[in-house]
Structure 1
Amino acid sequence: MDDGAVTSPAPSPTPVPTSGGRWLVGVAIILLAVNLRVAVGSIGVVLGSVRDDLSMSATVAGVLTTLPVVCFAVFGVGTAGLVRRAGLHRAAATVLVLAATGIVTRSLVDDRIVFLLCSVVALAGAAVGNVILPPLVKAHFPDRIALVSSLYGAALMAGAATASVTTVPLSDALGGWREGLAAWAVLACVALVPWVLMLRRDVHHSPVATERLPLRALVRSRLVWAMVLLFAAQSAGAYAQFGWFAEILTDAGVSDGSAGALLAVISAVGIPLTLSLPSLMRLTGDTPYLPWAFAVLTVAGWLGVLIAPATTPWVWAVLLGLGGGAFTWTLTMIARRTRTTAGTGALSVVTQGAGYLIAGAGPFGVGALHDLTGSWTAPLICLMALGGVIAVCGTIVARPVMLEDTVGLDHRY
């Protein structure tokens, strides 16, 4: 980043000049989002077979499960430079090329370390995709931010859920886990087509001097830190949930099959909630009612798991799924709390880069606390505490204050 500034391209005057072009970019954004969690969702369900074939130790498998958060943080931070030089559309195409390449190559290798490296390639693409989604929406749908953000948020969840549910049947039908994993590259190739068609209408111009957002000013903004901590809290809880929720239930006596199904319920509940967010945001306006609700639902879900994990586990799964609406709300607010595509890109880079880095402590910390204490009580209390962070930081983010107004003007708070 030049001169210590985080920048993203400002939109061209009319990136997509026709309604037909708008439909094309809308479909392209949704297809891009569907692909961003496929590399994560497909591996867990065949991890046992992968470990057996590649002689992968539990330690190496543990590294594999923590790679998504690490890659999302590390590669997400470098996205601004890529977008500034290549453009948003070329960056999106690059995401899908990396995803397809990583997915295919890891299905072909026989060495566990090379398998990890190929996974990094796919996850690097997903990391860039995470960051460019908000500025893509800002550039092409400035009048439909909540709607399009909710659609791509639902697409993210649907992609992860579909990969988790169908990879095993695909593997059985196609001949093994390698074929089952490689099949997801086809989806990336399909999603690549509309982005290739839009390369000549890329959004790639560098922001003018007045739109540049110095990194040193961003880190002094209260809004930026509220966004980072909000994103970190909900992501830490989500990844701890994906990694440990089923095991917590099975330790309490719930069957493996039921625990897996309940984990799927969490994702399923999140999809309709995400699609309803535009209406909910119109109703609540610039109030903190939504983040408060997400916080209360999250705390209630984990409290239920702590007190009565095997009594009504489906209730706790539904509550946690509804609390997960904080994810899409946070992504939507990245675009709503900025005036320019440059501001959206900068806030997206900092929020997701630093947020995912902090969130990595979530799944790791839950496991470490469980090993240290011999029970799930301390980890669950910490997960409930994340609800408090969501409520407090969400209150700050809900205020109608724009990033561009806070850079170097923090006294206005």
Structure 2
Amino acid sequence: MMGRMASADDDSRNSAPSTDLGTRTAPARSADTPAAPPEPGAATPAVSRRLLGLVAAGLVIAALNLRPAISGLGPLLEEVRRGLHMNGTVAGLLTSVPPLCFAVFGGLAPRLARRRGPAPVVLAGMAAITLGLALRPLAGGTGTFLAATALALAGIAVSNVLMPVIVKHWFPDRVGSMTGLYSMALALGTAGAAAVTVPLTDALGGGWRAGLGAWAVPAAVALVPWAAISRNRSARAPEPQAAEEAVPARTAEGEAAGQSRDRGRTGPAGTAPGPAAPSETAPGLRIAASPTAWALAVFFGLQASAAYITMGWLPQIFRDAGVSASAAGVLLAVTMGMGVPLSFVLPKVAARMRHQGPLVVALGLCGLVGYAGLWLAPAAGAWVWALVLGVSNCAFPLALTMIGMRSRSHSGVVKLSAFAQSTGYLLSIPGPLLVGSLHDLSGGWHAPLLLMAALMLAQMATGLLAGRDRVIEEGR
């Protein structure tokens, strides 16, 4: 689907000298096939480099705004519950709204991207986030608050699904590093919202409405680069036959060498693969028949469940153990902040591994250690548990990287990303809700922590399956 969206820009970049954005090799042509003439209005190499810089900036700014709607709520959840008269079960429903919206709206992203192009859809997503965050403080009851939150989360959902597509389309030879870049920005936005929301609320008068509503401002800033990107020809809807195109050629060095070892089965390692054979393209691909796709979906769902349980309930666990609201927010920020360096490193490491299972197990063990610590000494070892849970939460960029590695084509990545994320988020919905219900029923956190540990063990098992050296085009 994505192969011809930027034919003019891709040809310009492929013929351009090396830049700091990476060397690209031109797609292989037979000796008797003349080079296609440039399309009218085709971008020059310099314009293409400027566009790549703008897309990279847009990715970072968008990623910074993909979690404050969620992580900024956790430190103020108790105040929101009092203000809107929520019980624990309803609050659990509130923490389950993110994966529900991601499952429902994320599945629409590929269809919208086919019709409009990925960049205009991301622009619409940023607009929905801005509007939802601006309306949420005006809510007079739980229903209105949930509706405004759902609007913001709808924008987050479509942007979530299209981030790997944007990376695969504009940076095909730097999938690992660019995934790490926006994953790092996502973690930074998550941690920043968790740390700043309570002090910001105090600075704005102490009301939770102002503290939550302030996050609409950075979301509005994200509209600027994506509006500019959407005006470029390469960001518009692709031609109908674009789904037949294979992943653009990759270089034989750096990241591409690792990825060609994992996915480039069409030729010897270190050579640029040619156009995909018909069997490798996505139009006839049945995602639901692929065990690898299902393993990725379940792994994605379990890591999402752990992440939203952490974002929604970890501050409350610390507060119930005697930690202040501001300190609980900082602890959540530490947990989320661990993803800043690790989200940049992990995708690059994973892209060079034939099997990502060892990384899955290492992250899962960190999660189990954190849950054990919250059971035994939640306040005394709070900083340690926050750190190890932060390492565990880095299963998200690992899952995104595996999505990019489990398909050979742009259209395959689109389908796999939509399937894994929408199905995974659907599977993750009960987790945060059950944690709230178990806490209400038991009056403590031991029963919820047992549930969280069981889900982590399941995450490790499915991650081992998802991390195998397979691609969905092989039907495995």
- Taking structure 2 as the reference length, the TM-score comes to 0.76
Conserved? CA contact 2:305–2:431, under 8 Å: yes
Once the two structures are superposed, residues 92-140 of structure 1 have per-residue CA deviations (whole angstroms, 9 ceiling, x without a partner) of 1111111112222333454543333222211110111111111111111
State the partner residue of 1:402. Answer: 471
Aligned counterparts of 1:363 and 1:138: Cα–Cα separation in 2: 32
Q: CA deviation at 1:356?
A: 0.9
8 Å CA contact 2:102–2:421 kept in 1: the answer is yes
Per-residue CA deviation, residues 134-192 of structure 1 (Å, 9 max, x unaligned), is: 11111111111111111111211211222233334444444554444343333222212
1:121 counterpart (151, 170, 175):
151
2:407 and 2:473 in contact (8 A); partners too: yes
Structure 1 residues 184-203: aligned runs within 5 Å:
184-199=215-230, 200=232, 201-203=234-236
Do residues 107 (structure 1) and 137 (structure 2) align? yes
Q: Which protein is bigger by CA-based radius of gyration?
A: 2
Q: Note the 1:3-402 alignment, pairs <5 A.
A: 9-12=2-5, 13-15=7-9, 17=13, 18-47=48-77, 50=80, 55-58=84-87, 61-110=91-140, 112-174=142-204, 176-199=207-230, 200=232, 201-205=234-238, 206=240, 207-208=242-243, 211-213=281-283, 217-252=286-321, 254=323, 257-281=326-350, 284-402=353-471
**Which stretch of the first structure deviates more once superposed, 359-368 or 94-103?**
359-368
Q: Which has the larger share of helix?
A: 1
Q: Is the 8 A contact 2:180 2:347 kept in 1?
A: yes
Secondary structure of the 1:219 match is: helix
- What is the CA distance between 1:51 and its match in structure 2? 5.4
Percent identity over the alignment is: 38
In 2, distance between residues paired with 1:255 and 1:366? Answer: 21
Aligned partner of residue 72 in structure 2, secondary structure: helix
TM-score by length of 1: 0.87
The CA deviation at 1:374 is: 4.7
Contact map agreement 2:118 2:162 (CA 8 A) in 1: yes
Confirm or deny: 8 A CA contact 2:130 2:152 kept in the other structure.
Answer: yes
Which letter maps to 1:202? Answer: A
Letter in 1 for 2:221: V
Query: 1:252 offset after TM fit, Å?
Result: 4.6
Distance 1:114 1:254, change over 3 A: closer
Question: Structure 1 residues 62 and 378, CA, compared in 2 at 3 Å: closer, same or farther?
Answer: closer
Partner in structure 2 of residue 3 of structure 1: none
Residue aligning to 1:5? none
Distance 1:243-1:48 versus aligned 2 partners, 3 A rule:
closer
The one-letter amino acid of 1:89's match is A
What is the alpha-carbon root mean square deviation over aligned residues?
Answer: 2.6
Given that residues 304 and 316 in structure 1 are in contact (C-alpha distance below 8 angstroms), is that contact kept between their aligned partners in structure 2?
A: yes
